[in-house]
Amino acid sequence: MKEKLKQILARREKRRIADPEQIPAAILVPIYEKNGQHHILFIKRTEWVEKHKGEISFPGGTYEAQDKTLLNTALRESAEEISLNPDDVEILGELADVSSVKTNYAITPFLAVIPWPYELKVDGHETEEIIEAPIATLMNIGRSRQELRGRETVTVYQYDYQGRVIWGATARILAEFLDIFAQAMQP
């Protein structure tokens, strides 16, 4: 599966956001195999963070100059938020950049495989909970609708998983990943 995902990502033309008005950020989309099923990992943000309070997201955050690259941002933030050691992460490629409408972030998502089992810990400041979701389940529960925003029609995604709502930029990133994953599952 890893090799198929890498190949699909390498062939895709990545959509980049080059708007200097947007704040650069990066996240990891961590996947792993557990009990014969592929899973994806999300976090629930605490109520103490400045932005995205209580939301379901992927580990990651805002670019800082010492990071030097957006990949380093995603790895640093994942280490801080859930104690994921960067040396244990295998990057498969990048998904399309996504804008966060509420907070003006230009988010670069990195698809990564992590080992399992793995001892992850929430930091308690930014991250309240780690959420493991079987990818097959997420493929069956997503909803989308068309909305008119100004002069543009956009697709809005939402996933309701075990009483948690995945929406916004996280849902858009998840939708792209699930499309790629479905392609990788085909013979």
Distance set, CA 1 to CA 12, 33, 151, 181 (Å): 17, 10, 40, 9
| pLDDT at 101 (0 to 100) | 77
Distance set, CA 65 to CA 73, 105, 106, 153, 168 (Å): 9, 16, 16, 35, 26
For residue 126, pLDDT over 90 is answered with: no
Give the span between the Cα atoms of 108 and 16, in whole angstroms: 8
| pLDDT at 52 (0 to 100) | 61
Place of tokens 């379901």: 56
Task: Looking at 98-159, list the stretches that DSSP marks H as alpha helix, in order from N- to C-terminal side.
Answer: 135-141
CA-closest candidate to residue 38, choices 91, 116, 109 = 116
Give residue-wise pLDDT tens across range 52-81.
666 999 999 999 999 999 999 999 999 999
Give residue-wise pLDDT tens across range 103-125.
899 999 999 999 999 999 999 88
Give residue-wise pLDDT tens across range 177-187.
999 999 999 98
SS3 of 155, please? strand
Strands 37-45 and 127-134: antiparallel
Task: Tell me which of 120-129, 150-159, 171-180 is least confident.
Answer: 150-159
Topology of domain 2-134+169-185, CATH:
Nucleoside Triphosphate Pyrophosphohydrolase (3.90.79)
SS3 of 123, please? coil
What is the domain partition of the chain in residue ranges? Answer: 2-134+169-185
pTM as predicted:
0.92
Output Rg (C-alpha) for the chain, integer angstroms: 16
Sorting pLDDT into bands at 50, 70 and 90, what band is 49? low
Query: Considering the chain, what percentage of its residues have pLDDT values greater than 90?
Result: 74
Strands 98-100 and 105-113: antiparallel
